[in-house]
Amino acid sequence: MFEWDRHNLRKVRAHGLTRAEVEDGLSRDPILIYEQEAEGEARYVYYSETGRSRMIAVVLTERGDRIRVITAYDLDAGQKKEYVQRRLQGE
């Protein structure tokens, strides 16, 4: 279950993405790129692809049984290359 509010929706919209696109990307076997700690909680950065082949990064945290998206944005050229290489390697 996703946790959305005006704050994270604003951040996602600022990057030209919709809630539906982010949820779609996260439902399509995203690749965990790295984990970091911010504001006392673990945050995870995933790369994924939407059903319309849009390659995105999603920063999220897990709060109990909820997934809270912090932000999401389009991958840049280097990130796209890394994503494609990792997919070709079977991730």
63 vs 80: CA distance, rounded Å = 28
Do 44 and 55 meet the contact criterion of CB atoms below 8 Å apart?
A: no
| Cβ contacts of 73 within 8 Å, gap of 6 or more | 15, 17, 56, 57
- Per-residue model confidence as pLDDT tens digits over 1-40: 999 999 999 999 999 999 999 999 999 999 999 999 998 9
Domain-wise residue ranges, the chain: 2-88
Do 43 and 60 meet the contact criterion of CB atoms below 8 Å apart?
A: yes
Residue in the block written with tokens 């919709």:
18
Helix (H, G, I), strand (E, B) or coil at 35: strand
- Per-residue model confidence as pLDDT tens digits over 32-89: 999 999 989 999 999 999 999 999 999 999 999 999 999 999 999 999 999 999 999 9
